[in-house]
Amino acid sequence: MISDPRTIRALAHPARITVLHHLYAGEVLTATEFAQLSGLTASAMSYHLRALERWGLITRAEPAGDGRERPWRSLGTSIRVEADASVAARAAEGLLLGNLVDLLRKDLTTALAWSAPMAPMTRDDPDRSDDDAPPPTNPAPPMGFTVVPVTLTGDEAEQLMTELHALLEGRAGREPDRGARRYHVFWAALPLTPEPGPEDPEGTDPEG
């Protein structure tokens, strides 16, 4: 778990988020490949990779091919960030989450493109109806969003997050095989009302 404000702010750099995004999805990539993904030079990307290595998040993988450049791999399957209540920690967490939202937007665009089944190319036929169209050759992968408003105490919210984390951890690290796709699962438990105070034990609005 990462809670130090300086570390959280350092992780919020877009290049480092890109690295963790790919490596913790099971990929093994070189500094040159990351440089192409992020638009940085290979030397600049190497700086970010070494920083993540010092924090114990990634490490060198076995060389492939001619072995001139050793790739990188993750040192786990997930990263948990929990900021404390300090102003610095909350600001760092906000920066990190903002950049993660940008990453989620890119993932969503890619997923939507993959979810569109591709039908075989055919010659235009004005007499053919849509019902006559050939079936898709590349079925769309399952994809979904769920928003569930719930009412929880602080302890119940912590328990829910722990259970969800354990569920996802149990499915992480699987090697891709025939018929399997890689997925990114994003989930969040977001408090929508302030913590009830001593004069508001039920969390209601006294002005309401």
Q: DSSP string covering 111-178, please?
A: HHHHTSPBPPP----TT--GGGSPPPSBPPPP-----------HHHHHHHHHHHHHHHHTTTTPPP-T
| pLDDT of 87 above 80 | yes
pLDDT band at 174; cut points 50, 70, 90: low
SS3 200: coil
| pLDDT of 60 above 50 | yes
Work out the mean pLDDT of the chain and round it to a whole number.
77
Contacts of 76 (CB under 8 A, 6+ apart): 24, 57
Does pTM surpass 0.95? Answer: no
Q: Where are the domains of the chain?
A: 5-114+152-169
Burial 138-163 (b: 16+ CB within 10 A, else e): eeeeeeeeeeeeeeeeeeeeeeebee
| pLDDT of 102 above 70 | yes
| pLDDT of 144 above 60 | yes
Please state, in angstroms and rounded to a whole number, the distance separating the CA atoms of residues 78 and 109: 23
Q: Measured on CA atoms in the order 87, 90, 96, 97, is the torsion positive or negative?
A: negative
5-114+152-169 placed in CATH 1.10.10.10: yes
Please state, in angstroms and rounded to a whole number, the distance separating the CA atoms of residues 51 and 31: 13
pLDDT band at 51; cut points 50, 70, 90: very high
Point out the least confidently predicted range of 34-38, 117-121, 190-194.
Answer: 117-121
Residue 173: the pLDDT is 62
| pLDDT of 151 above 70 | yes
Point out the least confidently predicted range of 51-55, 129-133, 139-143, 146-150.
Answer: 129-133
The mean per-residue pLDDT over the stretch 6-31 comes to 88
| pLDDT of 122 above 80 | no
Q: Higher-confidence residue: 40 or 77? A: 40
The mean per-residue pLDDT over the stretch 95-113 comes to 81
| pLDDT of 193 above 70 | yes
- Whose CA is closest to 20, among 55, 62, 64, 70? 55
Residue 141: the pLDDT is 67
| pLDDT of 99 above 50 | yes
